[in-house]
């Protein structure tokens, strides 16, 4: 087989609990052995009586109409007695016969000859008797999806199809290292909306890259795909990578659609640089992964921004690993609570050192971290270890609690400030896990990618309330500023969700504080010492 394509196969039932990354890992597991007929029972299915089988004969023809043995064909059971079947029959003559139970099948076949690559999909193969299928490369049409930059270089791509029948979904795919792919539908139409197919490909341009993806839901697989997006029809993702003092090496960025099994586009990013990727809004939301440069004392940090919405002609900017570092609470539906009361257990799980955009680091840089819990003013316990993560056992009756988490930021040796958050609330034992009423305040000044701001400049800094107070309402919110490392503080009026002040002289630090009471009387006292510096 030619190296221009890398076909991967997955033939497992797909459920709502299957994640995209888990499905990607499953792709690497399926292996086709040339010259054999490989039969793999699918999970959750019951094998049929081997006596009740029919002959399925598959003929393979190249683009000249000649029989070819240069193919990779996969037949996957969907429903009926054959739902447990997954076979990859092969014969060098180009014609192969395999016996299978009655049922609905998905057939896909990749044919290669030199640089010619054809992918033919039959989403509905009803085996009710001896059947012959002809896979003919002469029926295919190009997948011709190209960015508006004529000199852009093709990087990689994937075609993926999902077929659903009687509540079960099966899939097939082809991963391509070149843009020379032709595709075709084979056989009768399936039920309306039962065939979902997408094609994603990635291009490297002179100053920007392209991630182009299109999804089709129909009764059939696609016979050719032609798209010529204009720059105006694409959305722009700008990915900014910050670098702390002492950071070495390069960062790495990858971009991929959030929906469906796919491959991503990856590229290196120099410290304090920006990657620009133009993406197709038609493909839905996008995931951005960022791995920052490390330091001699710490390993690189990984961050994820998932489900980023985009719009044609608009630019979305994501900045990673930059100040102001502090607590962040994800308010998206289904997000993990920042704190949970479960029976007599009380647990805190909040990213205490999320970056300035609220992204959670995989390896927060800190020198020390402490979490304490008090019940009615009496210390229940102290925990040391990961910032913002601790579990305590308390007594069942309702009481007033003070939960305090702090971390000293640093790169292994040098301190870079301190983050402290203290919450007060009342709580009692619960029969089922219940979220604690915790809140956070995010300060988001405009900073350079070195985490600094211009000295002496007037600034307006937005404040964003997250967590319980964002849902139930804010009774009061105050803020304060320190330019001497937290020794003294000046109150800052909060006006229209922001505070205004003038940055101190060059080389000084800015510390920020917020005090919040929500509509139910729960409080937050949050201090970010040496949140950023001036230049």
Mean pLDDT score of the chain? 90
As a whole number, mean pLDDT of residues 57-69 equals 97
Element (H, E) at 159: strand 153-165
Confidence of residue 235 (pLDDT cuts 50, 70, 90): very high
Beta strand ranges found along 337-444 (DSSP E): 339-343, 345-349, 366-375, 378-384, 389-393, 399-410, 415-427, 430-435, 439-443
- 241-300 pLDDT, tens digit each: 998 666 778 899 999 999 999 999 899 999 899 999 999 999 999 999 999 987 666 678
In this prediction, residue 115 carries a pLDDT of 87
Closest of 351, 525, 353, 527 to residue 425, by C-alpha: 525
Q: What is the mean pLDDT of residues 345-358?
A: 96
Top-level class of domain 231-320: mainly beta
Whether pLDDT at 373 is above 60? yes
Please tell me the predicted confidence (pLDDT) of residue 243.
Answer: 83
pLDDT of residue 300: 80
| Fold that domain 5-227 belongs to in CATH | Immunoglobulin-like (2.60.40)
424-448 pLDDT tens trace: 999 999 999 999 999 999 999 999 9
pLDDT band at 4 (very low <50, low <70, confident <90, very high): very low
**3-state DSSP helix/strand/coil percent for the chain, to nearest 5?**
5, 55, 40
Tell me: the pLDDT tens digits for 176-217?
988 999 999 999 999 999 999 999 999 999 999 999 999 999
pLDDT-derived band at 50 (thresholds 50, 70, 90) equals: low
Average confidence (pLDDT) over 348-360: 96
Contact 395, 375 (CB under 8 A): yes
Instruction: Name 427's Cβ contacts closer than 8 Å, sequence gap at least 6.
Output: 341, 346, 398, 399, 401, 436
pLDDT digits (tens, 9 = 90+) for 387-427: 999 999 999 999 999 999 999 998 765 678 999 999 999 99
pLDDT given for residue 246 in this prediction: 64
Exposed / middle / buried, residue 413 (Cβ in 10 Å: 0-12, 13-18, 19+): exposed
Q: Where are the domains of the chain?
A: 5-227, 231-320, 339-534
pLDDT the model gives residue 1:
36
| Residue 45 clears pLDDT 70, i.e. is over it | no
Cα 261 to chain center, whole Å? 11
∠ CA 330-332-333, rounded to 5°: 130
User: Quick one: pLDDT band at residue 333, thresholds 50, 70, 90?
Assistant: confident
**Pairwise CA distance, residues 48 & 14, whole Å:** 21
* Beta pairing partners, 45: none
The pLDDT, as a whole number, for residue 51 is: 55
Closest CA relative to residue 239, chosen from 272, 262, 214, 204: 272
Band the pLDDT of 17: cuts 50, 70, 90. very low
pLDDT average, residue stretch 374-396: 97
Q: Could you tell me which of 175, 236, 182, 226 has the C-alpha nearest to residue 205?
A: 236
CA distance readout (Å), 169 to 18, 79, 305: 12, 9, 28
Q: How distant is the alpha carbon of residue 451 from its chain centre?
A: 26
**CA-CA distance, 362 to 365, in Å (whole number)?**
10
- Choose between 281 and 14: higher pLDDT: 281
Sign (positive/negative) of CA torsion 7, 12, 14, 15? negative
Fold match between domain 5-227 and domain 231-320: yes
The residue assigned the tokens 């979490």 is: 371
Q: Tens digit of pLDDT for each residue in 445-469?
A: 999 999 999 999 999 999 999 999 9
């Amino acid at each position: 087989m030619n190296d221009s394509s890398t076909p991967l196969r997955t033939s497992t039932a797909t459920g709502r609990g299957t994640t995209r990354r888990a499905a990607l890992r499953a792709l690497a597991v399926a292996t086709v052995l040339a010259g054999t007929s490989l039969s793999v029972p699918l999970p959750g299915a019951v094998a049929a009586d081997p006596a009740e089988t029919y002959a399925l004969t598959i003929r393979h023809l190249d683009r000249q109409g000649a029989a070819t043995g240069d193919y990779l064909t996969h037949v996957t059971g969907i429903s009926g007695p054959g739902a447990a079947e997954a076979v990859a029959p092969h014969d060098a003559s180009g014609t192969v016969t395999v016996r299978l139970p009655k049922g609905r099948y998905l057939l896909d076949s990749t044919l290669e000859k030199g640089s010619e690559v054809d992918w033919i999909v039959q989403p509905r193969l009803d085996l009710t008797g001896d059947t012959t299928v002809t896979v003919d490369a002469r029926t295919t049409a190009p997948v011709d999806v190209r960015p508006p930059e004529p000199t852009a270089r093709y990087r990689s791509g994937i075609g993926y199809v999902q077929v659903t029948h009687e509540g079960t979904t099966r899939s097939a795919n082809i991963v391509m290292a070149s843009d020379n792919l032709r595709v075709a539908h084979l056989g009768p139409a399936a039920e309306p909306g039962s065939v979902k197919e997408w094609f994603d490909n990635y291009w490297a341009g002179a100053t920007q890259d392209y991630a182009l993806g299109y999804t089709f839901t129909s009764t059939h697989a696609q016979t050719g795909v032609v798209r010529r997006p204009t720059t105006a029809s694409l959305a722009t993702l700008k990915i900014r990578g910050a670098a702390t003092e002492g950071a070495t090496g390069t960062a790495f960025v990858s971009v991929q659609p959030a929906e469906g099994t796919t491959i991503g586009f990856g590229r290196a990013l120099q410290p304090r640089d920006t990657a620009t990727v133009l993406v197709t809004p038609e493909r839905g939301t996008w995931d951005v992964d960022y791995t920052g440069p490390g330091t001699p004392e710490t390993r690189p940090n990984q961050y994820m921004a998932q489900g980023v919405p985009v719009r044609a002609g608009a630019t979305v900017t994501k900045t990673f690993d930059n100040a102001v570092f502090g607590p962040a609470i994800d308010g998206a539906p289904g997000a993990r609570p920042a704190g949970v009361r479960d029976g007599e257990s009380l647990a805190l799980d909040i990213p205490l050192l999320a970056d300035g955009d609220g992204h959670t680091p995989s390896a927060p840089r800190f020198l020390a971290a402490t979490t304490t819990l008090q019940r009615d003013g009496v210390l229940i316990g102290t925990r040391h270890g990961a910032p913002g993560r601790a579990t305590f056992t308390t007594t069942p009756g309702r009481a007033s609690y003070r939960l305090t988490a702090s971390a000293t930021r640093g790169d292994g040796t040098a301190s870079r400030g301190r983050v402290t958050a203290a919450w007060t609330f009342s709580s009692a034992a619960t029969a089922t896990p219940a979220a604690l009423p915790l809140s956070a305040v995010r300060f988001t000044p405009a900073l350079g990618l070195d985490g600094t701001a211009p000295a002496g400049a007037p600034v307006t800094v937005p404040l964003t309330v997250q967590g319980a107070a964002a849902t139930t309402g804010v009774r009061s919110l105050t803020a304060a500023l320190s330019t001497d490392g937290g020794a003294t503080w000046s109150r800052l009026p909060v006006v229209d969700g922001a505070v205004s002040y003038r940055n101190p002289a060059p080389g000084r630090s800015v510390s920020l504080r917020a005090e919040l009471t929500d509509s139910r009387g729960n409080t937050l006292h949050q201090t970010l010492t040496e949140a950023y510096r001036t230049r």
